[in-house]
Amino acid sequence: MNEKIILGLPKGSLNNVKRGNTHQLFVDAGYEVKGYEPGDESYEIEILNDEDIVAFLTRPQSTPVELNRGMVDIGIVGEDWIKEESVLRESNTIKIGDLDYGKTRLIVAVPKDSPYDNLSDFFRANKDRKTPILCFTEYPNLTRKFIMENEVYQEIYGDAVPFVQVRGLTDGDNEMVQVINSDGATEVYIAKGADLIVDNTQTGSSLRKAGLKEIETILQSSAGLYASGDCTEEKLDKAKMIYEQLLGAITAKKYFDVKFNISNSKIEEVSKYLIENKLCADEPTINSGSDFSQINVLIPKSRFPEMIDAIKKFDATSIIRNDLKQLVY
Ligand SMILES: Nc1ncnc2c1ncn2[C@@H]1O[C@H](COP(=O)(O)OP(=O)(O)OP(=O)(O)O)[C@@H](O)[C@H]1O
Ligand SMILES: O=P(O)(O)OC[C@H]1O[C@H](OP(=O)(O)OP(=O)(O)O)[C@H](O)[C@@H]1O
């Protein structure tokens, strides 16, 4: 490449062994990565076997800003943060592709014994109160937009813009509905007197621990590879190659590579069975021998027990199951 591509790798939940292990994804995709082990990340990360990539640590909250400004060329970030950054300003980012992990939902939550089942019920029940409604969130732009789109909010407050506070900075004119920036541990604000929170949820465990229930889903999110709109064609081509490599590792995890031996007299029958039951991609690969042949198929992991059962009925022997490292279509 003429110029190196600058990659932003996420710190936090998207590089956590129990959540979204981006480090492991790069390793599985065949990259030799140094300085990006979860919990022990360096600011500059080395990708030893691809000299075209320069990698830096980024916070998902600010990755979209860095992409919009062309400070990094590409980055892995949750779609929730891309959307939060583009509520008020047009985004200068291009989605290269989804990576199918870091899956969360951005939700509105209230105490679990509240009588409200949705945000409309909440606004209706609180319309005559004299003190401001307080909502804490790490996503003030998406939250304010969602509130303003609510029909009951519009009936009560018209097009007044909820007051928003991000540390010292404030905006908006409707002081009766306030959206206040949180920097984490958002669930706890309800116990401290907030009426609503907007936070992301994965297993729901944090909400349960805080005694909260969801009343609305604002959006669903997963991690993806994004590029800056400032990237040259050469960098975009490189970004697509990196994405293919990562996606190959993600897709591979969903399949087993299975081999088994079968008598030549049963080959046709077995092949037909595998194709009809979609237990292979297009057709099985067959390595023919004089009396027996070896059949090789890739099957979704969830269908492996069913397959064993079926091929045993055809007297299959020497069944071998391997994990796949990379599957690129
Ligand atoms: N429990 C989770 N499992 C998978 N992905 C998550 C989880 N929590 C958050 N994410 C995703 O990780 C990205 C960053 O999340 P968030 O803004 O909550 O910060 P964080 O990485 O958890 O860091 P912090 O430690 O500052 O809270 C978001 O795109 C979010 O959707
Ligand atoms: O539904 P769950 O599986 O409980 O996951 C969701 C929680 O994970 C993240 O928080 P994190 O632990 O990163 O801390 P934070 O609240 O300070 O962001 C997120 O902000 C939620 O609070």
- Ligand 1 centroid – CA 47 distance (Å): 24
Determine the Cα–Cα distance for residues 307 and 296; give it in Å rounded to an integer. 12
pLDDT of residue 116: 94
State whether 95 and 241 are in the same domain: yes
State whether 206 and 245 are in the same domain: no
In a domain, 226, yes or no: yes
In a domain, 329, yes or no: no
| Tens digit of each residue's pLDDT (9 = 90 or more) over 94-148 | 999 999 999 999 999 999 999 999 999 999 999 999 999 999 999 999 999 999 9
Q: For residue 15, which ligand has an atom nearest its CA?
A: 1
Q: For residue 184, which ligand has an atom nearest its CA?
A: 2
DSSP conformation letters of 78-137: EHHHHHHHTSSS---EEEEEE-S-S-EEEEEEEETT-S-SSHHHHHHHTTT-SSPEEEEE
Determine the Cα–Cα distance for residues 203 and 218; give it in Å rounded to an integer. 17
Given 233, 252, 271, which residue is the final one in a domain? 252
Quick one: pLDDT band at residue 329, thresholds 50, 70, 90?
Answer: confident
State whether 23 and 126 are in the same domain: no
State whether 138 and 234 are in the same domain: no
Given 161, 196, 220, which residue is the final one in a domain? 220
- Ligand 2 centroid – CA 136 distance (Å): 14
Mean predicted confidence (pLDDT) in 198-216: 97
State whether 238 and 190 are in the same domain: no
In a domain, 35, yes or no: yes
| Tens digit of each residue's pLDDT (9 = 90 or more) over 176-191 | 999 999 999 999 999 9
Pocket of ligand 1 contains residue 141 by CB under 6 Å: no
State whether 86 and 119 are in the same domain: no
In a domain, 188, yes or no: yes
Range(s) of the domain holding residue 139? 105-220
CA distances for 72 relative to 43, 56, 225, 237, angstroms: 13, 8, 12, 16
| Tens digit of each residue's pLDDT (9 = 90 or more) over 17-41 | 999 999 999 999 999 999 999 999 9
Q: Rounded mean pLDDT of the chain?
A: 96
State whether 96 and 232 are in the same domain: yes
In a domain, 328, yes or no: no
CA distances for 197 relative to 190, 202, 206, 208, angstroms: 7, 15, 12, 14
pLDDT of residue 201: 98
Mean predicted confidence (pLDDT) in 42-71: 97
Statement: residue 155 has pLDDT above 90: yes
What is the CATH number for 317?
Answer: 3.30.70.120
In a domain, 49, yes or no: yes
Q: Whose CA is nearest to atom 22 of ligand 1?
A: 13
State whether 230 and 213 are in the same domain: no
Mean predicted confidence (pLDDT) in 65-70: 98
| Tens digit of each residue's pLDDT (9 = 90 or more) over 236-247 | 999 999 999 999
- Ligand 1 centroid – CA 81 distance (Å): 10
How many structural domains compose the chain? 3
State whether 170 and 81 are in the same domain: no
pLDDT of residue 12: 96
pLDDT of residue 283: 87
In a domain, 10, yes or no: yes
Quick one: pLDDT band at residue 281, thresholds 50, 70, 90?
Answer: confident
| Tens digit of each residue's pLDDT (9 = 90 or more) over 218-234 | 999 999 999 999 999 99
pLDDT of residue 1: 86
Pocket of ligand 2 contains residue 184 by CB under 6 Å: yes
Q: Whose CA is nearest to atom 23 of ligand 1?
A: 12
State whether 71 and 125 are in the same domain: no
Given 199, 220, 241, which residue is the final one in a domain? 220
What is the CATH number for 90?
Answer: 3.40.190.10
In a domain, 198, yes or no: yes
State whether 137 and 84 are in the same domain: no
Q: Whose CA is nearest to atom 7 of ligand 1?
A: 13
Which helix (H) or strand (E) segment holds residue 46: the answer is strand 40-47
State whether 234 and 88 are in the same domain: yes
Contact assessment for residue 106 and residue 196, using Cβ atoms and an 8 Å cutoff: no
